[in-house]
Structure 1
Amino acid sequence: MEPAWRQQGRGRGRSQVGQQGERARPPQQQQKERERPGGAGRGATGTKSEPPLAVSVQTKFEEIRKSNQAAAQRLAETRISSSSSSDDDDDDDDDEDVDVKVDQKDGKRGKILASTFTTYTDQTGGDASGLARTGQYVTDLFQSGALTCLICIASVKRTQAVWSCSSCFSLFHLPCIQKWAKDSAFLVSSITDEDFGQKQHPWPCPKCRAEYPPSSTPNRYMCFCGKLQDPPADPWLAPHSCGSVCQKELKPSCGHTCLLLCHPGPCPPCPKMVSVSCLCGKAKPLPRRCSNKAWSCQQQCNKLLPCKQHTCTQPCHTGDQA
């Protein structure tokens, strides 16, 4: 057995040789060994340079969230701008101020409305109280999305061919109402008619259900007053209007015609001034609006009753009283 001093010497020799061998290796090789997976250098440097997993995930989440918010904002702004300009017929320059555009548009619409109602207001001394209902129909023509076809549930554009119900004055796309009339008549015929297809059935308005005969099925695009076929889009007229005086017979019938320019909706009350007596006929005639010409003098009627013996003791009234 070797002495202890020999064993220690051999150990020291091996340790020294190992250290000398490590020093003898080139620096590039030593660097590569440190960068190997599982090496001491890798473990020491890797844990310090790489961020923790939770921090990395949170950072990516914040970046994606901000990116999505920015994209959603751009999309919303694009859609709002496109929807507001899709139905705008004004050819103003893009670099003009927005407020100026709105003022110009409102001023133009005001002039169109004024020209439509001028003949009427001239008869009433500027009083437009009777135009409230008709004015709303005309105003809706200029507002994007205000009018909707109840058949296809799409907006009625000012350049599209339309048909207007004479009872409720609703607007429908011409192709939509044509298909509606055809399908409605076919459906009624197939259910009620024994001799299928032999009898003509009326078709109803999709909104108010007013019935129209088969001969009234619209086959042409007409203006509101019915004088002009395919009315051109005039920027200084109400959409779908021919610009002529309406001249429809007023209801209730009074012998006068509508004084407005070709318009949607109902004709306003007759504005003409007429001279009429009271309901009982005893008072002197007074000038009254034709649409509100009936008036009572509040005196005792004194008309002979149907019994032919007594007279009416009621104040001036309409009709006969027993």
Structure 2
Amino acid sequence: MSVFSAKNEKMKRGSKSNQQKPDGATRFEEVHARNIAAAKKIVEKYSSSSDEEEEELNECKILDSLFKHYKSDGSRLGIQQALQQKTATFFENALHSGSATCLICIGSVRRADSIWTCKHCYCFFHLNCIRRWANDSIAQQKASTEQTSNEQGYYNNLGQFVPPKRKRPLHWSCPQCRKDYCLEEKPATYKCFCGKEENPRPAAFLLPHSCGEICGKNLQPTCGHTCMLLCHPGPCPPCSQYATTSCLCGQSQKKSMRCIDKEWKCDRKCKELLPCGEHRCKELCHKPNQCPPCTSTSLQPCECGAETKKRNCSELKWHCKKICGSKYSCGAHVCKRVCHSGSCGDCPLSLPRSCPCGKTQKIVPCIETIDPCGDTCQKLLSCGLHTCTQRCHRGECNLCLIITKKKCRCGIHEKELPCWKIFTCETKCKQMRDCGKHTCNKKCCDGRSCQQCDKICGKPLTCQKHKCQSVCHEGPCYPCNQQSQVNCRCGKTSKRVPCGRERTARVMCMELCRIPSKCHHPIKHRCHKNECPPCNQKCGQINDTTGCLHICEAKCHAAVKVVKQNPLNGGANVWHQSKQFEFKKQPHPPCEQLVKVSCIGGHEIAEWPCWNSKPTSCQRKCNRALRCGNHKCELICHAVPDLKDMKVCTLIAFNYFLSLHIFNLNLNMLQFLFYFIF
């Protein structure tokens, strides 16, 4: 760098430092102006987009074209029944922009958005949102399977073989109904509702996101027919085809009925013989062999025949509380069974019996008892490892008292204890649970029961109002499944919206607004959410500003929204001031009514605004006859109260002054010539 360039740089820096820095108010005005410009751009974009979204569709024509193939005879019966189903809700979400909500981003689903629809719950989602949801779910499952990979199995600390876990194929679920979809069903393209066309183009005469072709899906319940509606959202309506069928009982003649109503009932009674064998069915037409239980009563004996009661015919078998008490064939013992039918059978004590340990079997009279055989019991004890060392005895065996080396459940510690005792140590398990966030922390854990985390997730959901109540899990939480009720301002119309959409939800109320008008024009308008719209009517009151009796024709100014001026905040920091608005009554503007006004000389009549209706000069010559009678007034338009007051003819005065001026000019010329000669 040369010497001159270095000097120039110093001079520039000095000049910049000498410039005055902008104060806080100037910087505030600059930032405020930039913010206003940015806000205007956003408002313009929002208004243009909202105009496009709020472009009204001809719903009647769209619904008529949608249902034109639904019923062949052209009646409205099929349409009314279809609209009573859940399909009507999905039609509203598709027709009205912003009615449906994407549960992933909690944003409105508009008519121009690319969407994906669940096959089970028919809920709308943005295509990009459901792609991201599916990719995140699959990625979390892959990471979890890689961490807990067990392809061949292993032996735990107790020497027990743990078989490999059965691998579950990768899947992702619908955020609302939790329906599982396989990896191949991950949404890739934007398709219409019936799935025949990709990237359907919007048309004014078609339902948004529809291809306009016949749906063609198999109807449910299966009847062999397909849906005849045009491509539509939501479930298919009931079948509208006709079939010739008889009633359920088959007693009436066959009729031509709609497929959904083919199981129809006649007015005749069934009259089939009921299982009681005495009465017949009194119910109206129903399917065969599906008669209800008999409601008649009759005297019925119990199973043993000791008692008889009046009971319903449907309860053919009943037992009393009497013990049988009949003697067996041995003659020494009696039957202890409660009320039963048939024979009592053989005495249970006359069958082959064994000693208490079960090694010796004998057949002895039922009146005799079998004594212990005297051999070792050798029954397997409750420990499952050792046998009883006592002699053959009656009753249960004692606990195993053999001292053995036992390992705790986690397999870390070892100790000599009686076999019947369970050894547990105080070591806490530090194995991570399946959520990948919490440790087991159970004392002496065997490693099997610590896989699934039992804690509540507790993360804040996207609605920012509730927390996740699911068991601790990996990946993102499911959207909030609660709904809130949003009311209109008057409270007569309400709507259920997903949690978190209360501020942006639109409730279309058809009632009139009940808020009293701030001005003298009580204009009727519909219920709305924000402030009442400004009055656009004419003022209509007498204009007291000009002092005339004309009616003010300006826009109503009885309640004008202005910025509230607070003198107490004059010295506050300009960066922290917040604008507050109030409604004020503005004075009448100057009256603009045109009135006819004559000039001061009476030459012409012109129309002037009322506030400026004062006689002025028209800038013409007066042209009135003077008193001399020979000439007219040459002055500019002026006021003349009375023609008799006219002065002397201005023409004589004009000639006098002209001659005097010529005389003075000649005198000056003579003086100049005299001075030049002499």
Q: TM-score range by the shorter chain?
A: 0.5 to 0.7
Alignment match, 1:249 = 218
| Residues 200, 301 of structure 1: alpha-carbon distance in 2 compared, 3 angstrom cutoff | same
Q: Shift of the alpha carbon at 1:155?
A: 1.9
**2 CA distance for matches of 1:213 and 1:207?**
17
| 1:137 and 2:106 correspond | no
Secondary structure, counterpart of 1:119 in structure 2: coil
Which one of 257, 261, 273 corresponds to residue 292 of structure 1?
261
**2 CA distance for matches of 1:301 and 1:184?**
56
Q: Is the 8 A contact 2:92 2:99 kept in 1?
A: no
Q: Shift of the alpha carbon at 1:146?
A: 0.8
Alignment match, 1:277 = 246
Secondary structure, counterpart of 1:172 in structure 2: strand
Q: Is the 8 A contact 1:247 1:257 kept in 2?
A: yes
Q: Is the 8 A contact 1:123 1:271 kept in 2?
A: no
Q: Shift of the alpha carbon at 1:143?
A: 1.6
Alignment match, 1:320 = 289
1:66-215 to 2 correspondences below 5 Å: 78=43, 81-82=47-48, 84-88=50-54, 105-106=56-57, 108-123=58-73, 125-127=75-77, 128-132=79-83, 133-188=86-141, 190-191=143-144, 194-195=148-149, 199-215=168-184
**2 CA distance for matches of 1:276 and 1:155?**
47
Alignment match, 2:20 = none
Q: Is the 8 A contact 2:131 2:187 kept in 1?
A: yes
Identical columns (%): 40
Q: Shift of the alpha carbon at 1:298?
A: 4.1
| Residues 287, 151 of structure 1: alpha-carbon distance in 2 compared, 3 angstrom cutoff | same
Secondary structure, counterpart of 2:68 in structure 1: helix
**2 CA distance for matches of 1:287 and 1:249?**
22
**1 CA distance for matches of 2:257 and 2:115?**
38
TM-score normalised according to structure 1 size: 0.62
**2 CA distance for matches of 1:124 and 1:136?**
23
**1 CA distance for matches of 2:278 and 2:144?**
59
**2 CA distance for matches of 1:178 and 1:270?**
34
| Greater C-alpha Rg | 2
**2 CA distance for matches of 1:196 and 1:267?**
45
Structure with a larger share of its residues in strand: 2
**1 CA distance for matches of 2:198 and 2:242?**
34
| 1:236 and 2:205 correspond | yes
Structure with a larger share of its residues in helix: 1
**1 CA distance for matches of 2:231 and 2:254?**
34
Q: Is the 8 A contact 1:303 1:312 kept in 2?
A: yes
**2 CA distance for matches of 1:117 and 1:138?**
12
5+ residue gaps, structure 2: 1-35, 152-166, 292-678
| Residues 201, 263 of structure 1: alpha-carbon distance in 2 compared, 3 angstrom cutoff | same
| Residues matched between the structures, number | 236
Q: Shift of the alpha carbon at 1:218?
A: 1.6
Q: Shift of the alpha carbon at 1:263?
A: 0.7
More off after superposition, 227-236 vs 237-246: 227-236
Q: Is the 8 A contact 1:189 1:199 kept in 2?
A: no
5+ residue gaps, structure 1: 1-70, 91-104
Which one of 178, 192, 196 corresponds to residue 223 of structure 1?
192
Secondary structure, counterpart of 1:118 in structure 2: coil
Which 4+ residue blocks in structure 1 deviate beyond 6 angstroms? 309-312
* 1:89-147 Cα deviation digits (max 9, x unpaired): x5xxxxxxxxxxxxxx35x2321221111222544612222222323322322322112
* 1:168-191 Cα deviation digits (max 9, x unpaired): 111111221122122223434555
Q: Shift of the alpha carbon at 1:311?
A: 9.4
| Root-mean-square deviation (Å) | 3.5
Q: Shift of the alpha carbon at 1:237?
A: 1.3
**2 CA distance for matches of 1:238 and 1:267?**
15
More off after superposition, 295-304 vs 137-146: 295-304
